[in-house]
Structure 1
Amino acid sequence: MSGALSFVIFALASFRLTRLIVFDTITAPFRRLFHEEKEEVNDKGETETYIIIKGKGLRSWVGELLSCYWCTGIWCTALLLAIYILFPVFSMWLNLLLAIAAAAGIIEAIVSRLVE
C-alpha cells in the first residue's frame, strides 16, 4: 500500500474509532463509568449538555480524556499505530473496517445535509 493511501486509511480509522469512543451511543455505558451528562435548558429554550467528571486519580483522568475529542484522538491513533507495529495483518483489516465506516458516515452526513 502506498504511503499516501496508508495515511488516509489510518486517518479515517482514527477518526472513526475516536468518534465511536467519544460520541456513539453504543459506548455510552463505558463513558458513564467516568462521567455523567447533565442537561439544562438555557435562556433561549435550548437544551445544553454538560459533562461532570467522576472520581479522582485515574478515574478522573480517564473522564477528562473521554470528554476531549482531541485527547482521545491522540490515544486512539497511538493504539492503532501500536496494533500496526505488533500485528500488521490484523491492523490492516481493522483499519480498513474503521476507514470504510468513517467514509460511510461522512457520506451520510453530506447526503443528509443535501436532502434537508
Structure 2
Amino acid sequence: MKITFLHLLLLSLASFRLTRLLVFDKITEFIRVPFFNEIKEVNEYGEMEVYYVPKEKGVKKFFGELLSCYWCTGIWTSIGIVSLSMLFPDFSFPIIIILAVAGFASIMETIVQFFIEK
C-alpha cells in the first residue's frame, strides 16, 4: 500500500485526536477511572485540586502508566490507526476521516483561542 502525504496527514490527525480522546477528554474518563487513584487536595487559594495517580500493582498499574503518558498512548493509538487502515481500509476510512477532522478542528480551536486571549 502506497501512503501519500494526504494519507499520512489524515492518519496523523486521527492518531492525535484518538490519543487526546483517551488521555484527556472527559467523555472517556470511564475508561481511565479503573486504572487511577484520585487524590484531592486544597491548594493555597482554597480551591480543590484533583490528581490522578496510576494504581500501584499489576495490569492496572501498567495501563495507568500508559494512559498517564501522552507520548506512550500516542504510539499505541498510531499502531492501531495504521493497522486498521491497512487491514480494513474500507471499514476504517470513515473512522479515520472523523478523527482527522476532529483533530484538525481542535488544532484550529487552539489557534483561535490563542488569538482571542492575546
Q: TM-score, normalised by structure 1?
A: 0.86
Partner of 2:74: 73
Q: Is the 8 A contact 1:34 1:55 kept in 2?
A: no
State whether structure 2 residue 20 is matched by structure 1 residue 19: yes
Q: Deviations over 1:23-78 (max 9, x none)?
A: 00001111011013424355687876533212522111011100000000000011
C-alpha RMSD of matched pairs (Å): 2.1
CA distance in 2, matches of 1:88, 1:77: 15
Letter in 1 for 2:88: F
Letter in 2 for 1:52: V
Quote the sequence identity (%). Answer: 47
Partner of 1:83: 84
Unpaired runs of at least 5, structure 1: none
Letter in 1 for 2:106: G
In the TM superposition, what is the alpha-carbon distance from 1:112 to its structure 2 partner? 1.4
Partner of 2:115: 114
Unpaired runs of at least 5, structure 2: none
Partner of 1:31: 32
CA distance in 1, matches of 2:9, 2:42: 40
Q: TM-score, normalised by structure 2?
A: 0.85
Partner of 2:97: 96
CA distance in 1, matches of 2:77, 2:105: 20
In the TM superposition, what is the alpha-carbon distance from 1:98 to its structure 2 partner? 0.4
Number of residue equivalences: 116
